[in-house]
Structure 1
Amino acid sequence: MYYTERLSWIRNCKNIPQKEIAYALGIKQQQYARYENGVNVMPITYLIKICKYLNVSADYILGFTDEMKEIEQKKKESEDL
């Protein structure tokens, strides 16, 4: 699964419209749709903001892991070490 598909899947699972994500990024919905559809490459700064907004790790979105850990859970696990 490509990162664009994961972005769309997570956003849909959380019932968040593209317009809301776009607003959080300070861009128009049409521009966000181009990123999510793979027409344009998303800047890393936007990816970081989206990860925080959706509360998921960049590792999951980028396909480095198939385990969708929430950011807060990862922080807790690293603090326990």
Structure 2
Amino acid sequence: MKYNERIREIREDHALTQQKVADLLHIGQRTYSDYESGKTRIPIDNIMILAKFYDISIDYITGASNIQQPYPKE
């Protein structure tokens, strides 16, 4: 699964709107929509914020792993 599909799946699993996640990342809703559609690549800093927020490993978010692991605490 590609990362853009994964971030949409995770967001929907948490019943969040694109606007809520965009607010978390301090970006516009349109920019976040572009991340999910694959039009724009999501910066690693934002992937890290999402990983911490959702408590899911970066490997899972990026599609490097299909196993949900918690975000490392240290």
Does residue 63 in structure 1 map to residue 63 in structure 2? yes
RMSD: 1.4
Q: Distance in 2 between matches of 1:56 and 1:14?
A: 12
Q: Distance in 1 between matches of 2:63 and 2:26?
A: 25
Which deviates more from structure 2 when the two are superposed, residues 61-70 or residues 9-18?
61-70
Q: TM-score, normalised by structure 1?
A: 0.83
Structure 2: stretches of 5+ with no match in the other structure:
none
User: Which entry has the higher C-alpha Rg, 1 or 2?
Assistant: 1
Structure 1: stretches of 5+ with no match in the other structure:
none
**Amino acid paired to 1:63:** G
Q: Displacement, 1:63?
A: 1.5
Alignment of 1:2-81 (within 5 A): 2-71=2-71, 74-75=72-73
Q: Displacement, 1:57?
A: 0.7
Identity across matched positions, percent: 32
